Structure 1
Amino acid sequence: MSNVKRLRTLRIAERPNLIWVEIETEDGLVGLGESFRGAQAVEAVIHEQVAPALLGKDARRIEAISRQLMTPYIGFHSASAEVRAASAVDIALWDLAGQRQGIPVHEALGGASRLTVPAYNTCAGYSYNSGGTWRRSIGAGDQAIGPYDDQVAFMRDAGGLAESLLSEGYRAMKIWPFDVYATASNGHMISLQDLKAGLEPFRKVRAAVGDRIEIMCELHSLWGTHAATRICRALEDYGVFWAEDPLNKMDDARALADLRRQTRTPICGSETLAGTVPFRDLLAADAIDVVMLDLAWCGGLTEGRKIAALAESYAKPLAPHDCTGPVTLMAGLHLALHASTAIFQEVVRATLATWYQELVTQLPLIEGGLVQAPMGPGLGTQLQPALWLREDAVSRESKLS
């Protein structure tokens, strides 16, 4: 029987933003899902709202369950706690679907469009985004704590960082040197002096390696239209592959379309959006050049493949996000392998080399800058059993009585 009999969640104090959900069915299978940010709120939604609706239901009815969980009375369209909980559950249901059929998720979705996908390295270092806050600025006292402390590297020696990435086969990198200048004006102004300082890493990369590597600029939804336009126009001189999430309201299709008309820098968005409707509106308004989505925030694989279909219908490339957790990375990879217009899978080499390995049993294999297709059933990874036994672990269970 494929009915759901138990939901277990797990979070650990060391990584307070991450939460995992395991869904067990009566036939003994266990599916794994994940979400990120506000882990305690997501935990509450899973056990107090999702569990009563899901327990006893057929786990094979993924579309019906997704529709129910993705239409909460409140908590939509953004990636709210309700949507993040729905995303984690949906990823786990697809993991179960693959396991039940003995095939990888990309095959369960309808088959692979490709068996490898190019990786780009988000230059985030070891601790960025893994605790309660982002590490936005690099001060004089900050020192690299290992060979992959890439946020320190892009602020100190961006050219050397590009050379290091190329030596490992990466052909694309993402940096965010403008973030530190947003606070002074709440993102509504950037001075010429600060603009030139933010451009320095791009200049250094081009001086060191020329055009051998693509550069993405992450703007983290920090800017108003005037400042974002000034930044995007300045980036044109460096052939930037995209400017990501340039505006502080990434569901504002009109403002994004206006920005896009004023710059030759391609616009990418947005990991912050949930459900198909905001993406439909952005695409219909001709407001973005590249579709980025985060499967732990947008509604999981069920909603993700619908967004991918929208991207295909508008002939736009797709790029799944990961700067959060290893299960989301695996799910995004399966979608990138399946979706016809996917061009990249985001990775963070610092986390792949360190703490992601402490959390799950398998991680994506990258060879020559290409992420290889997982061939095991389901997502192809599980939580490390030792996680449940950690002193800082908080687990909660809902099950059929």
Structure 2
Amino acid sequence: MSLDRHFVRSVERSSLKTRYPRTVGRNARLGSHGSGGVDDIVVLRTDTGKVGWGLVAGSVSADQAVGRSVAELIDPGRGVRDDSLRGLDFALHDLVGQIEDLPVHAILGGHGPSTVACYDGAIYFADLDPDESPRGVPAVLADCAADDAAGYRAFKLKIGRGNRWMDRAAGDARDIEVTRAVREAYPEHRILVDANDGYDCAGFIEYLQAVADCGLYWVEEPFLDDAADLARLRQYLREAGSATLIAEGESNPELETLLEIAGRGDIDVLLMDVVSFGLTSWRGVMPRIAELGVRASPHAWGLPLKTLYAAQFAAGLGNVDTVEGVPGETLGVDTSGYLWRDGELTVPDRPGFGLPLT
């Protein structure tokens, strides 16, 4: 590669606005997630006129990059060369693609298919809003209907209402009611559930017993990470003859502990965030994950751009069966190279991430 002939001339900070199609409500731990937000990006320009950009994945200092060759900053086979450069992780991967006229998924090795299943990550506690006149289960079904019309064929339902927003028994009963209502309305769709650590192990197993005929694809972060509880959950699923997967690792992941638990067969899917954990970190750990027979699905909630990054990740590193979709749009970015059809996302062969700024 010719990366040693391109020198970074400038590092520019900017921001992009995300807009969701509706206000996204509460989950088991947090209040309303709003209707979008503003997030930082970094734009790298070289003395040869090449431009790469990406979401900021940590602290960024222009002094770390300006005047240095791209080859000094990133090894295309491994990722950024120094932890101090992690804030430039996505911008540097994009820049390599622009220089070499390669999509990021090819730089990552092209180990996965270019099309990946994508689930809807935006089904929150709409039934609880507004406080003065909660809309109930029909509100959740309305959100599912809107996202089904937008092309989603899999829903991840937030559960754990009894952790903070409702009496424990009433909240658990509502979780069951919502799960069963969505399954009845969408008998062919894949259903995942995410408790955001809003249960204890015994309570979560009771929930699973109540929805045993709903065919859940996976359960995500059912309770605070605990090796013994995850082993107990696995034993329950095995004895029940359930194919439901256990997904963990989004929140404050202690990687070595998670890998140890996964190695015992008590985690099926690892979920570290695509941006905050970082592409370089994922590249480093993926061989170990694959060796354990565990799948990956990087957490992408919050930004539609993170979904596109996750799809490039899936096509490049492989070992990914589905990625998290974030309905909405990112203003100022041309995302037209990505094909969205019937619950599947196909990455483009455009250079870098294939996302020109407009």
TM-score normalized with structure 2 length? 0.78
The residue that corresponds to 1:396 in the other structure is: none
Letter in 2 for 1:242: W
The residue that corresponds to 2:352 in the other structure is: 378
| Structure 1 segment 2-151 matched on structure 2, within 5 A | 2-11=6-15, 18-35=39-56, 42=58, 45-47=59-61, 51-60=62-71, 61-63=73-75, 66=80, 68-69=82-83, 86=86, 88-124=87-123, 137-139=128-130
Letter in 2 for 1:97: V
Any idea what the Cα deviations from partners look like across 1:279-307, whole Å, max 9, x if unmatched?
43342243311222322111x22222333
Letter in 1 for 2:231: A
Relative distance call for 1:191 and 1:222 in structure 2 (3 A) is closer
Relative distance call for 1:30 and 1:228 in structure 2 (3 A) is farther
CA RMSD in angstroms, aligned pairs only:
3.3
The residue that corresponds to 2:179 in the other structure is: 202
What CA distance in whole angstroms lies between the structure 2 residues aligned with 1:374 and 1:229?
A: 42
| Structure 1 segment 220-299 matched on structure 2, within 5 A | 220-248=196-224, 250=225, 252-263=226-237, 264=242, 265-273=244-252, 277=256, 279-298=258-277
The answer (yes or no) to whether the contact 1:326–1:360 under 8 Å persists in 2 is no
TM-score normalized with structure 1 length? 0.70
2:352 equivalent to 1:361:
no
What CA distance in whole angstroms lies between the structure 2 residues aligned with 1:95 and 1:120?
A: 25
Q: Could you say which structure has the higher helix fraction?
A: 1
The residue that corresponds to 2:287 in the other structure is: 309
What CA distance in whole angstroms lies between the structure 1 residues aligned with 2:258 and 2:159?
A: 27
What CA distance in whole angstroms lies between the structure 1 residues aligned with 2:354 and 2:10?
A: 21
The answer (yes or no) to whether the contact 1:220–1:244 under 8 Å persists in 2 is yes
Relative distance call for 1:54 and 1:224 in structure 2 (3 A) is farther
What CA distance in whole angstroms lies between the structure 1 residues aligned with 2:137 and 2:249?
A: 24
| Structure 1 segment 176-215 matched on structure 2, within 5 A | 176-178=158-160, 180-183=161-164, 191-210=168-187, 212-215=188-191
Unaligned runs of 5+ residues in structure 2 are 19-35
Any idea what the Cα deviations from partners look like across 1:112-163, whole Å, max 9, x if unmatched?
52121111112358xx9xxxxxx894236679xxxxxxxx8x9425556556
The answer (yes or no) to whether the contact 2:123–2:158 under 8 Å persists in 1 is no
SS in 1 for 2:207: helix
What CA distance in whole angstroms lies between the structure 1 residues aligned with 2:266 and 2:68?
A: 40
Displacement of 1:164 in angstroms is: 5.6
Letter in 2 for 1:362: T
What CA distance in whole angstroms lies between the structure 1 residues aligned with 2:49 and 2:93?
A: 15
Aligned pair count?
Answer: 328
Any idea what the Cα deviations from partners look like across 1:175-216, whole Å, max 9, x if unmatched?
1132x321269xxxx744321211111111222232x01111
SS in 1 for 2:80: helix
What CA distance in whole angstroms lies between the structure 2 residues aligned with 1:343 and 1:377?
A: 24
Unaligned runs of 5+ residues in structure 1 are 37-41, 71-84, 129-134, 144-151, 385-401
SS in 1 for 2:70: coil
Q: Could you say which structure has the higher strand fraction?
A: 2
Relative distance call for 1:359 and 1:278 in structure 2 (3 A) is farther
Relative distance call for 1:52 and 1:230 in structure 2 (3 A) is farther
Identity of aligned residues (%): 23
Displacement of 1:380 in angstroms is: 0.5
Relative distance call for 1:275 and 1:10 in structure 2 (3 A) is farther
